[in-house]
Amino acid sequence: MKKKYSIFNIARNAFSNHENWQKMWRSPEPKKNYDVIIIGGGGHGLGTAYYLAKEHGLTNIAVIEKGWLGGGNTGRNTTIIRSNYLWDESANLYEHSLKLWEGLTHDLNYNVMFSQRGVMNLAHTEHDIKEIKRRVSANTLNGIDSKWISKEEIKKLVPIMNTDNLRYPVLGASFQPRGGTARHDTVAWGYAMRADEMGVDIIQNCEVHKILTENGKVIGVETSKGIIQSKKVGVVASGHTSVLAESAGIRLPLQSKPLQALVSEPIKPVIDTVVMSNAVHAYVSQSDKGELVIGAGTDGYNSFTQRGGFDVVENTIRAMVELYPVFGKMKMLRQWGGIVDISPDASPIISKCDIQGLYFNCGWGTGGFKATPGSANVFAHTVAKNEPHSINAAFSLDRFVSGKLVDEHGAAAVAH
């Protein structure tokens, strides 16, 4: 039965001390055989299962997660959502996603706390100005709401910003009003709940050790709960995708690196938009609880530890305090890392491969949260139809052979 969240439900459950809420999803033992197995219970994997069931009528699906839902990068990111990418291919993909974000709470009947408070990308040098203005023009041609704003307009939007008295002065910015943030784990939970209602088995605490193949075709996976068969396997395991691919004999062009973030103690509202600076590497928004949510950069080396180098956080804090001197006396509460999978052109891979029935959705690097609904939606199409959706055709693996890369280093790179 579809779980509904309403004021009446909250009131009714308050009378029984909230002990009688229905479980959001079941915890079934894995069956022997599924039509589709999705490896990875992050937003992208759970969303893929949801759209496979909702739009393609496939419900005999297992989502296999080695830990808990959203415990990977989905629950570790700084939740910035925008679609102001340079190239048409990326703009189409991220804008498809942004449009789905705009209806997601309604679609899932579950509040993903999507807040369109706008996203600003600061320019600090002549080169930044040229690059950002070029991107604004490209966005405008693609119907994306991006505009150039002056230093004076920035000051009106973020009065606490120090624009002049710093090593890299603020010279202007791009601004996308429809960009913003969402509450990360609700996205995983919302997709999980609705996919479960349609019959999808969500299997947590089950690690996939190996992708099993026979005569060039996928036949299932070997897991910590035994072998599970399927003729279709979708790998959506972010930083661990290359390891899983290797178990099937495939070498993906991905590097896995720790990316860090941190949050401050909660304070009263001081910043009601998202501000990003590639040049000095500081990103900030304020959560509904009042914490400053700050994004740092990746480490300079590959690693699978979910924490990063101290020097990276130190640099970010230095940049933050220079840009917002008022933050200088604040205490930081938590700091963490996630393993991001970075492709050579800083664009994702949403693709089938040479092994029949094996599909990959990865390479989102530092910026895949914003893509969650769009990526899941077109990946479900790719898996169901065994061919790419027109939106993800450019993001196939063969671009690394043909050289037709979608180079988004300016718009993606270390930026979220």
Give the binding site for ligand FAD (CB under 6 A).
Answer: 39-45, 64-67, 71-74, 76-80, 207-208, 236-238, 240, 244, 259-261, 295, 338, 340, 364, 366-370, 416
Q: Which is nearer to ligand FAD, 119 or 123 (CB)?
A: 119
| Helix, strand or coil, per DSSP, at residue 29 | coil
* DSSP string for 221-285: EEETTEEEEES-EEE--GGGHHHHHHHTT---S-EEEEEEEEEE---S----SEEEETTTTEEEE
Q: How far is the CB of 39 from ligand FAD (least distance, A)?
A: 5
CB of 146 to ligand FAD, least distance (A): 16
- Least distance from ligand FAD to the Cβ atom of residue 55, Å: 19
By C-beta, is 85 or 324 nearer to ligand FAD?
Answer: 85
Q: How far is the CB of 14 from ligand FAD (least distance, A)?
A: 32
Q: How far is the CB of 36 from ligand FAD (least distance, A)?
A: 15
- The nearer residue to ligand FAD, 79 or 121, going by C-beta atoms, is 79
Distance in angstroms (rounded) separating the CA atoms of residues 261 and 296: 5
Beta bridge partners of 223: 208, 226
- Please report how close the Cβ of residue 10 comes to ligand FAD at its closest, in angstroms: 28
Q: Do 335 and 261 meet the contact criterion of CB atoms below 8 Å apart? A: yes
CB-nearer residue toward ligand FAD: 187 or 355 = 187
Give the phi and the psi of residue 365 in degrees, each rounded to 5: 55, -130
Phi, psi of 7 (to 5 degrees): -60, -35
Decide whether 169 or 226 has the Cβ nearer to ligand FAD: 226
Neighbours of 319 (CB within 10 A): 21
Closest to 378 measured CA to CA, from 41, 43, 44: 44
**Min. distance of Cβ 378 from ligand FAD in angstroms?**
13
Provide the token pair at 400: 């690394």
Report how far residue 387's alpha carbon sits from residue 383's, in angstroms, rounded to the nearest whole number. Answer: 7
The CA radius of gyration of the chain, in Å to the nearest whole number, is 21
Q: Is the dihedral of CA 185, 187, 190, 193 positive or negative?
A: negative
The identity of residue 50, as a single letter, is: Y
> What are the beta bridge partners of residue 36?
61
Residue 77 vs 142, nearer CB to ligand FAD: 77
State which residue, 64 or 138, has the beta carbon closest to ligand FAD: 64
Q: Residue 412 Cβ, how far from ligand FAD at the closest point, in Å?
A: 9
Q: Closer to ligand FAD by CB, 172 or 308: give it.
A: 308
The C-alpha torsion from 112 through 116 and 117 to 123, rounded to 10°, is 120
